[in-house]
Structure 1
Amino acid sequence: MKNLTSEEKLKLQFKGFLATPPLWKEKDLIRFPEFLMTEVIRDLKVDLKIPANLVLGRRIEYFFRYYIDEFSRHRTLAANLQIIQEKITLGELDFLLQDKISAEISHVELVYKFYLYDPSISTEMERWIGPNRRDSLVRKLDRLTRHQFPLLYRKETRETLKSLQIDPQEVSQKICFKAHLFLPYSQPDLKPTGVNAECISGRWLHYLKFTKREFGDHLFYLPKKENWPVDPKFNKQWLDYEEIYPQLQHLLLLKHAPLIWLKTGVDSFDRIFVVWW
């Protein structure tokens, strides 16, 4: 994507965020309802300005707020509202939103994740892990349930919300959980339960399986993490196996599992994670 301007990249990242499906559909993974982004955007004109070099998580927060303020029936009352007790930050509320029609106020927690499915783990939901095995879906859901949502009802939060004239007891709590899911490369027909199948974005494999014999006929690109939400079809510059492998090897030595875009045909693209573990 080196041939694109920063504005063009930002627009593609935002479009990728909008296109990412919710992690569950019709069935909630936790007791808090999903905040669905249901507005149909017919003319996507993006005039979004964000600070440079933002990590992906913060970038996604800017995208969500831009969507809320420009395209939805809600307005933002507060974002990243820190709750502090005696100079110690207890946590933060991601978003407080108000429906412009019903006037309902919602506390919305925003999550955007990439998870790999590891069939060797015995429990179904615990099989969804981060690319470097440092986090998991189960741990994230547990933190949301035990910490993020209860934070609304702490006395320190009530004091903070007074300035916004908001009563926590009148606030509904929702979650916007978008995700890209990756299946084992050798088992692409697996059908994991409990998650939205539309989230399956690609596959993953161990680096020893990323051989020239298997992948030598393809072209590749190693996107920066900020571009992970982007559809690979928008990339114009591609490398062959011999060119991509040194970049891949460098990251693997640092114990970083990279996401790679593959061009497998004229109009055929794929995403894979190559893992070190």
Structure 2
Amino acid sequence: MDDRQLLRDLTWCIEAPSLINSPSWDGLQPLQSLLAEAKLAALPIVKPAPRLGHYYEQLWQHLLTDRLSWPLVAANRQISAGGKTLGALDLLHYAPSINTYCHTELAVKFYLRHESGDAQHHWIGPNAIDRLDIKIQRLTNHQLPLPQHPESKAAIDAWIASKSLPNRECASWQSKMVVQGWLFHPLQEQTKPAHASINPQHLRGHWLHHSAAIPQSAQSAHWILLPRLYWLARALIKREACVHSDSIGCWQNLRLNQPVHLTAKSLAHCLRQQQNSAQPQALLLAAVVPDGNYWREIDRWMLVPDGWPQPRTRSALPPFSK
């Protein structure tokens, strides 16, 4: 991943809409407003984590710590009591200008609409285990209230003291959740209303099973299979940064580290191999057009195993987003 992609992903965090429609659940818009007014920090030195969720946390940690100049109290810090882990805080900062400790829970999600989409449980992850209703319940009932537990307060007070920051009793407290990502709709009936908790301005793509041919109207001369660290911002990738499809030895057990350029013919071959695989994978596919020395995304598709939404076993699943 080059510096250009890193900057695109930072910009995506600042500009991408929330997946969640309720302001009582989401703290994204206030943070985006602050970041839009802040000075651009120097290019961060970020070695992206191998998992997309952790990379997403790194981006937000940089934005809040370096761009807003909020002292960092804790990042992905576990809280334990009596030998039992109670949970972990994604990010905890101190905002000096408002004398407030800002607890931020982060989630970057990719859900596919199954059935009508007018219920939260109709939005399912590509691995068929993750669901919107489960994630929202976890965030609202466990993650956001976690700092208010007596055991958590003791741990947090110790972290604050180690940073020589004001006591929590002398400052305000905010717990916010930031939920961004993409929602994928069946090719037909894309205008169908979603559940009220879904932001109608969400980023969207299409989804298909591996065996379903991409419709002729959506055919592109060029496609790119995107590794998970490229799933945030729309693709704008140097041509020389892409692996050519001919260099892929085995399509059945594909583990992407670089973007893979495909033609319509090699895409069809890839999907046939996935259909025959014992462990077929969900693939994120971008339709692209030439843009100078780059490939520029014009549409994206999530391609899932034919059995989806029946979940596979966890042992067979490659890592997805947090």
Compute the TM-score of the two structures, normalised by the length of structure 1.
0.83
Secondary structure (helix, strand or coil) at the match of 2:201 reads helix
C-alpha change, 1:181 and 1:216, in structure 2 (3 Å) is closer
Matches within 5 A, 1:130-145: 130-145=125-140
> For the residues of structure 1 that align with 2:9 and 2:203, how far apart are their CA atoms?
18
Determine the structure 2 residue equivalent to 1:156. 151
C-alpha change, 1:268 and 1:104, in structure 2 (3 Å) is closer
1:130-175 Cα shifts (integer Å, max 9, x gaps): 1121111100011112221232122221221222133499422211
1:10 partner amino acid? L
Determine the structure 2 residue equivalent to 1:176. 178
Determine the structure 2 residue equivalent to 1:255. 280
2:44 partner amino acid? L
Q: Work out which of the residue numbers 264, 285, 290 in structure 2 matches 1:241.
A: 264
> For the residues of structure 2 that align with 1:217 and 1:178, how far apart are their CA atoms?
27
C-alpha change, 1:235 and 1:176, in structure 2 (3 Å) is same
Q: Does 1:61 align with 2:61?
A: no
Q: Does 1:228 align with 2:224?
A: no
Determine the structure 2 residue equivalent to 1:269. 298
CA shift for structure 1 position 88: 3.2
> For the residues of structure 2 that align with 1:218 and 1:41, how far apart are their CA atoms?
40
> For the residues of structure 2 that align with 1:92 and 1:261, how far apart are their CA atoms?
34
CA shift for structure 1 position 258: 0.9
Determine the structure 2 residue equivalent to 1:206. 209
Q: Work out which of the residue numbers 67, 70, 78 in structure 2 matches 1:71.
A: 67
> For the residues of structure 1 that align with 2:9 and 2:266, how far apart are their CA atoms?
25
> For the residues of structure 1 that align with 2:213 and 2:127, how far apart are their CA atoms?
17
Matches within 5 A, 1:8-47: 8-25=4-21, 27-28=22-23, 31-36=24-29, 37-38=32-33, 39-40=35-36, 47=43
Aligned residues: 269
C-alpha change, 1:251 and 1:167, in structure 2 (3 Å) is farther
The answer on whether the counterparts of 1:212 and 1:241 sit within 8 Å (CA) in structure 2 is: no
1:186 partner amino acid? Q
CA shift for structure 1 position 211: 4.6
Q: Work out which of the residue numbers 103, 113, 120 in structure 2 matches 1:125.
A: 120
Determine the structure 1 residue equivalent to 2:79. 83
> For the residues of structure 1 that align with 2:76 and 2:218, how far apart are their CA atoms?
43
> For the residues of structure 1 that align with 2:217 and 2:3, how far apart are their CA atoms?
36
Secondary structure (helix, strand or coil) at the match of 2:36 reads coil
Determine the structure 1 residue equivalent to 2:190. 188
> For the residues of structure 2 that align with 1:128 and 1:168, how far apart are their CA atoms?
42
Determine the structure 1 residue equivalent to 2:315. none
CA shift for structure 1 position 187: 2.4
Determine the structure 1 residue equivalent to 2:250. none
Q: Does 1:197 align with 2:200?
A: yes
CA shift for structure 1 position 234: 4.0
C-alpha change, 1:207 and 1:251, in structure 2 (3 Å) is closer
Q: Does 1:114 align with 2:110?
A: yes
C-alpha change, 1:143 and 1:273, in structure 2 (3 Å) is same
The answer on whether the counterparts of 1:34 and 1:176 sit within 8 Å (CA) in structure 2 is: yes
Between stretches 264-273 and 84-93, larger displacement belongs to 264-273
CA-based RMSD of the aligned residues comes to: 2.9
1:261 partner amino acid? A
Sequence identity, in percent?
A: 23
> For the residues of structure 2 that align with 1:132 and 1:10, how far apart are their CA atoms?
26
The answer on whether the counterparts of 1:96 and 1:105 sit within 8 Å (CA) in structure 2 is: yes
> For the residues of structure 2 that align with 1:80 and 1:171, how far apart are their CA atoms?
18
Secondary structure (helix, strand or coil) at the match of 1:152 reads helix
List gaps (5 residues or longer) in structure 1: none
The answer on whether the counterparts of 2:46 and 2:58 sit within 8 Å (CA) in structure 1 is: yes
The answer on whether the counterparts of 1:99 and 1:105 sit within 8 Å (CA) in structure 2 is: yes
The answer on whether the counterparts of 1:233 and 1:269 sit within 8 Å (CA) in structure 2 is: no
List gaps (5 residues or longer) in structure 2: 161-166, 243-260, 309-322
The answer on whether the counterparts of 2:111 and 2:183 sit within 8 Å (CA) in structure 1 is: yes
Secondary structure (helix, strand or coil) at the match of 2:280 reads coil
CA shift for structure 1 position 108: 1.5
CA shift for structure 1 position 226: 0.6
Secondary structure (helix, strand or coil) at the match of 1:269 reads strand
> For the residues of structure 2 that align with 1:217 and 1:47, how far apart are their CA atoms?
34
CA shift for structure 1 position 53: 4.7
